[in-house]
Structure 1
């Protein structure tokens, strides 16, 4: 995702600021990569389905990366100071896990 955010996002930021609510960031990885952007990129590149799922989403929690329905890696999730999800894996490690699952 580029640093330029869509109009709806900027408007929501204004509303959150008016109400004193914390900033929102989509789920991201340890290196700051947005999870949804990386998943979209990898699904298009490899023609596969990628999901990040948990059987117990309580906090803290362990999540599973699934490629075409098969578990390929496990990752822990934390929340940042604004309660946004951060998965403790880098984009490079995520890419490698997906590539390994597809070979």
Structure 2
């Protein structure tokens, strides 16, 4: 699926390599959920860019939606990109079986954005399990 990334590219084209804002400058890491704080600390331990949790198109954090669905439905949900290139869709696997394809991109702030709203994602997963 071809995506117009010209706006995103324009927003970051003049940055120097490694230039980045720290999204945690004003955040007490201990106030974050454990999964998030752990990821922040792991990224820091490897001197990586600051961790930015993936989100759905509506801004909802992916982790919270997936965790809730997994618990409610008693399944394992994974977002998988095998042999993909930039702009290629990934697949959503439920208990290891491919259920749906999902577009994704990085926004100028460095977040992975899955190109579907959280509610629509929940509906698609639920429908896929009913088939």
Unaligned runs of 5+ in 2: 1-26
Q: Which runs of 5+ in 1 are unaligned?
A: 17-21
Q: How many residues align?
A: 91
1:53-68 equivalent positions in 2, closer than 5 A: 53-68=80-95
Higher Cα radius of gyration: 2
- Name the structure with the higher strand share: 1
TM-score under structure 2 length normalisation: 0.60
**CA-CA distance at 1:23 after TM superposition:** 6.4
Shift of 1:47: 0.4
Per-residue Cα deviation, 1:22-57 (whole angstroms, up to 9, x for no partner): 865300000011111111000000000100101134
Tell me the residue number matched to 2:60: 33
Structure 1 residue ranges, 4+ long, deviating more than 2 angstroms after superposition:
4-9, 22-25
- Structure-1-length-normalised TM-score: 0.74
Matches within 5 A, 1:1-103: 6-7=29-30, 24-103=51-130
Tell me whether 73-82 or 56-65 shows the greater mean CA deviation: 56-65
